[in-house]
Chain A
Amino acid sequence: AQKVTQAQTEISVVEKEDVTLDCVYETRDTTYYLFWYKQPPSGELVFLIRRNSFDEQNEISGRYSWNFQKSTSSFNFTITASQVVDSAVYFCALLTGFQKLVFGTGTRLLVSP
């Protein structure tokens, strides 16, 4: 069975703090893809990153970085120097086999000024 666990329900930080959102996944497939999506207060789902199971290289995009570790089945997301505009719900998701995306329950990030 495919499963994604985001144990952190809500995180509160003060602006400029660094914050890491955890994601742990379960799958028996050897080929799979991991995603992060952002859901701001306006409600839409914004694609942030896609990573396939054969590429464990970490990625950095501006203030965002992702740490993929197959040994611990984790795909963690770090925001450096957080800003108020980063306040949102962040979803980690796993895609295996036939384009079926399995979502975690999300982590709500609150960044206060």
Chain B
Amino acid sequence: NAGVTQTPKFRVLKTGQSMTLLCAQDMNHEYMYWYRQDPGMGLRLIHYSVGEGTTAKGEVPDGYNVSRLKKQNFLLGLESAAPSQTSVYFCASSFGSSGNTIYFGEGSWLTVV
């Protein structure tokens, strides 16, 4: 009954440090996504993947990299963290055909000081 699982749930980084957020889904979904949520701005798409080995840029991709080496996992990397990347990050997944419901993980709270 896990659905979409994100780790870690909370992290504090210093400016310039790097880190990776891990997302895992057990629903055999083809598509996976990373969103960020900022106050008053709703959720914005960072990167997404339509299948193993593929990734694409979303609305706000700068400063992030992603990888999808396995179908069930989608990694979000911050190479050199900046205070502007302080946010709540949500991973999500869905089946591939258009219109399918997108299911979200519980969120990862990241603070860059």
> Chain A interface: which of B17-25, B62-70, B75-83, B94-102?
B94-102
Q: Which residues of A contact B40 (CB under 8 A)?
A: 105
The proximity string for B residues 72-113 relative to A, scoring 1 for CB distances below 8 Å and 0 otherwise, is: 000000000000000010100010101111111111010000
Question: Residue A100 at the B interface, CB < 8 A?
Answer: yes
Q: Looking across the interface, which residue of chain A has its beta carbon closest to that of B99?
A: A33
Chain A, range 70-106, C-beta contacts under 8 Å to B: 91, 95, 97-101, 103-106
Q: Which residues of A contact B31 (CB under 8 A)?
A: 99
A31 vs B44: C-alpha distance when bound (angstroms): 22
Question: Residue A35 at the B interface, CB < 8 A?
Answer: yes
Give which listed residue, B41, B45, B103, B106, contacts A100 with CB less than 8 A: B45
With A43-B88, A43-B107, A45-B107 as known contacts, state yes or no: A99 contacts B42, CB within 8 Å: no
B101 and A50: CB pair below 8 A?
yes
How many residue pairs link A and B with beta carbons under 8 A? The number is: 57
A98 and B107: CB pair below 8 A?
no
Shortest CB distance B72–A (Å) = 18
Question: Residue B58 at the A interface, CB < 8 A?
Answer: yes
Q: How big is chain A's contact interface, by range?
A: 20 to 34
Shortest CB distance B94–A (Å) = 6
Give which listed residue, B94, B99, B103, B109, contacts A52 with CB less than 8 A: B99
With A100-B45, A101-B45, A105-B40 as known contacts, state yes or no: A95 contacts B99, CB within 8 Å: yes
Q: Which residues of A contact B90 (CB under 8 A)?
A: 45
Question: Residue B43 at the A interface, CB < 8 A?
Answer: yes
Q: Looking across the interface, which residue of chain A has its beta carbon closest to that of B94?
A: A99
A33 vs B41: C-alpha distance when bound (angstroms): 21
Binding site for B on A (CB under 8 A): 4, 31, 33, 35, 37, 42-45, 47, 50, 52, 91, 95, 97-101, 103-106
18 interchain pairs (CB within 8 A)?
A: A31-B98, A37-B104, A43-B88, A45-B90, A47-B102, A47-B103, A50-B101, A91-B42, A91-B43, A97-B98, A99-B48, A99-B102, A100-B48, A101-B33, A101-B43, A103-B42, A103-B43, A106-B42
